[in-house]
Structure 1
Amino acid sequence: MAGVKDVARLAGVSVATVSRVLNDSAPVTEETRARVLAAVAELGYRPNGVARSLRTDTTRTVGLVIGDILNPFFTELARAVEDEARSAGYSVVIGNADERPGRQDHYVRTLLEQRVDGLLLCPTAEITPLVRDVVRDGGPLVFLDRTLPGLDVPTVRADGTAAIGELVAHLARLGHRRVAFVSGPALLSTGRERTEAFVAALRANGLPVRPEYLEAGDFQAASGRASAARLLDLPEPPEVIFAGDNLMALGALDEIRARGLAIPGDVGLASYDDVPWFTHVDPPVTAIAQPVQDLGRRAVRALLERIARRPVEPEVLAARLVVRRSCGEPGPDRGAEDLAVRPLGAGPQGGDLTKEGSGPA
């Protein structure tokens, strides 16, 4: 049976180059790639991953369990993880927990049985016995996006506290006083942190904290729509609805449109998480953008350090505010990218970015 050395000899390249071509782990010239693939075909070479893992006690695979594959944030995150892992010569096996602890455990157990070299986990709210056992056993594990209290696991996540503060300050400058928030589940670290940051930002900007303006969602579009309906039915509805993730923002947008209300004339809309479709609605949606690509890359690098049995420190990356027009921002003569890169509140000559005459809806 032909081996990788036979392929390298026939193609006139090194064994490392053959590995790069077969794993697509680093760029090679098209001419070199063609020679290697021709040698593979001529020799009938088939990489034996199982045999290789038995010899090296590694599989060159890592597992990734995400919260909800239908959420664009997790879709982009998975792509970033896969790209970074592939560049390091690893494959990624992905499981979709669908925010269910039982389904999360199913994938964790399956990935461990498949002998992945390490595991990236976006944990659900519940600390299950299986996750606790994995942590106790000390295998290569990194939490991504979320934390679990009481578990000593390296975590790579984003912090939106400052960006939420900037958003609320921006809304206050526009003249908005009645600002509502649709949060994620309080049992999830991301749900708690965003709610706490929002309440603190209201107080810091002298805006009232009204319990009826704090809606509990579940990071799904249906809860965003239901929450928006309750808020808009209040005797004194909010001037702006801030959704705690992009799917709940979509649900809120559906409810606002279904009622024939204008954005931002009747009610403003903002979202945590920035997604491509926010720039394609009219008006484009103001959002807090997480550094998704960096999160994925750094999580993989942290996991590879854990696989190598080296210490890893937690990493916290900053989210940023992207100002668009859905809350009464300046008109279409200034694009979203133009607004996002300037210090908040500073126009081309340091003036206020708010559109003249804008204010409460």
Structure 2
Amino acid sequence: MARIKDVAAQAGVSVATVSRVLNDNPSVTEETRNRVHDAMAALNYRPNAVARSLRTEATRTLGLIIGDILNPFFSELARAVEDEAREAGYTVIMGNADERPDQQDHYVRTLMEQRVDGLLICPTAEVTPLVEEVSLGERPLVFLDRTLSGVEVPSVRADGSTAIAELVAHLRGLGHRRIAFVSGPSTLSTGRERTEAFLRAAAEHGLEVPEEYVRVGDFRAGSGRRITAELLDLAEPPQAIFLGDNLMTLGALDEVRERGLDIPGDVALASFDDVPWFNHINPRITAISQPTAELGRRAVRLILDALHGRPTDSVVLPATLVVRESCGETGPGKEDGS
């Protein structure tokens, strides 16, 4: 099936020019408009009616598509988006992509048909033609938490690299030398970024990380439990396991408890993503906390800036390390006593 890029190449114009033709933008010359229509006919290209619906009048609604509604991170994010939007007089319509590109596109299409004024997406791993096309439309699109290579839209996300470096230093200071990391999918920007930050920090501290100590999960509890079991069954298991999100940490906890192992005596655990219940189990879980609510608020402000013609620079907020007892003795001044 022909895509908007194919039409642009056939007509000898930019993708943005094709988008302007599809949206009946008066700035396009008649000659260029004819060339684009001829290319569409030659390629049997059917314009996406959903993307073209972005030309409609304001509805005071925003669309939000999250990765996994069962993940506490996304639940808190959605709540912050809804609260901030309501303060500004907007209603939020939400869809759960369930980490599936086809489900994501279903909600993109549905929300565009609902004529939302702008769209916030926590994108899945794939750049779909529909998301690519919407990114070139006249209504604003903001990526939240994650980014997509090759799709140039404003984004709001957290940078955990400094906090990960602090965690590795903390683990090393407690005497841990064999540290494993369970990342999210490398196809997701968050999975790649956290893996790269961990490996960089380990190298800076002179820690050797065997290949079998770096595993890829799917940001869900089942993969956290399965991979933790595999790590613990190694001939030389890690002394500490750092998991790339809260749900995988939950799975790891289930596996460690099932085996009757002590935390941190037999194995230390740490998590990227802090959640309230980490502070209410024994031992309390050391975690990297993202400014989740602020991410949601800033994303709404960014999309409203776009709607009002104001500058829309991407936003990057720092994550922070919260040291508790799950890796060993708590360092002075670091304990979270809330």
> TM range, normalised to the smaller chain?
0.7 to 0.9
Question: After superposition, what is the alpha-carbon deviation per residue over 1:265-321, rounded to whole angstroms, capped at 9, x for unaligned?
Answer: 000000000000101110000000000111011000000011123220011000000
Stretches of structure 1 lacking an aligned partner (at least 5 in a row): 1-55, 341-361
AA of the residue aligned to 1:257: R
Counterpart Cα distance in 1 of 2:92 and 2:335: 34
- How far apart are the structure 2 equivalents of 1:210 and 1:335? 29
| Cα offset, 1:335, TM superposition | 8.2
| 2:336 match | 337
Contact 2:323-2:330 at 8 Å conserved across structures: no
Cα offset for 1:137?
1.9
**Equivalences for residues 199-348 of structure 1 within 5 A:** 199-330=199-330, 336-337=335-336
CA distance in 2, matches of 1:254, 1:309: 50
Counterparts of 1:330 and 1:68, CA distance in 2 = 32
Which residue is 1:129 aligned to? 129
User: Superposition pairs for residues 23-172 of structure 1, below 5 Å?
Assistant: 57-172=57-172
Q: Secondary structure at the match of 2:142?
A: strand
1: distance between equivalents of 2:290 and 2:166? 14
Whether contact under 8 Å (1:323, 1:329) holds in the other structure is no
- Report the counterpart of residue 38 of structure 2 in structure 1: none
Q: Aligned to 1:137, what secondary structure does the other structure show?
A: coil
Q: 2:193 corresponds to which letter in structure 1? A: E
Task: Give the secondary structure class of the aligned counterpart of 1:265.
Answer: coil
> Displacement, 1:334?
8.1
AA matched with 1:201: A
Q: Deviations over 1:96-155 (max 9, x none)?
A: 000000000000100000000100000000000000100122421100000001111000
Aligned counterparts of 1:58 and 1:252: Cα–Cα separation in 2: 46
AA partner of residue 300 (structure 2): V
- TM-score if structure 1 supplies the norm length? 0.77
Question: Amino acid of the residue matched to residue 250 of structure 1?
Answer: L
C-alpha distance in 2 between matches for 1:229 and 1:66 = 29
In structure 1, the residue matched to 2:30 is none
Q: Does 1:173 align with 2:173?
A: yes
Distance 2:193 2:127 in 1: 18
CA offsets, 1:27-51, max 9 Å, x none?
xxxxxxxxxxxxxxxxxxxxxxxxx
CA distance in structure 1 between the partners assigned to 2:172 and 2:83 by the alignment: 40
**Distance in 2 of aligned mates of 1:309 and 1:107:** 26
Q: Which one-letter code corresponds to 2:164 in the other structure? A: I
2: CA distance, partners of 1:70 / 1:161: 25
Q: Which residue of structure 1 aligns with residue 21 of structure 2?
A: none
Normalised TM-score (structure 2): 0.82
Aligned to 2:136, the other structure's residue is in SS state helix
Instruction: Supply the AA of the counterpart residue of 1:336.
Output: E
Larger C-alpha radius of gyration, 1 or 2?
Answer: 1
Q: Measure the CA separation in 1 of the matches of 2:210 and 2:325.
A: 25
Distance 1:312 1:99 in 2: 26
Q: Which amino acid is 2:335 matched to?
A: A
Native 8 Å contact 1:97 1:103 kept in 2: yes
Structure 1 counterpart SS, 2:70: coil
Kindly indicate whether the alpha-carbon contact (under 8 Å) linking 2:323 and 2:334 is maintained by their aligned counterparts in 1: no
Partner of 1:5: none
Q: What stretches of structure 1 move > 4 A for 4+ residues in a row?
A: none
Shift of 1:59: 1.0
C-alpha spacing 1:334/1:301, structure 2 compared with 1 (3 Å): closer
Question: Which stretches in structure 2 are left out of the alignment for 5+ residues?
Answer: 1-55
Contact 2:161 2:194 in 1 (8 A): yes
* 3-state SS of 1:271 partner: strand
Q: What is the correspondence of 1:178-189 to structure 2 with a 5 Å cutoff?
A: 178-189=178-189
Kept in 2, the 8 Å contact 1:238–1:267? The answer is yes
Letter in 2 for 1:129: P
d(CA) in 1 for partners of 2:188, 2:322: 24
Aligned residue for 1:337, secondary structure, equals coil
Whole-angstrom distance in 2 between the partners of 1:310 and 1:302: 9
Distance 2:115 2:275 in 1: 34
2-structure distance, mates of 1:117, 1:195 = 36
Structure-2 separation of matches of 1:303 and 1:335: 36
Counterpart amino acid of 2:143?
F
Code of the residue aligned with 2:249 in structure 1: it is A
Q: Quick check: 2:288–2:321 contact (8 Å CA) kept in 1?
A: yes
Give the Å deviation of 1:336. Answer: 3.3
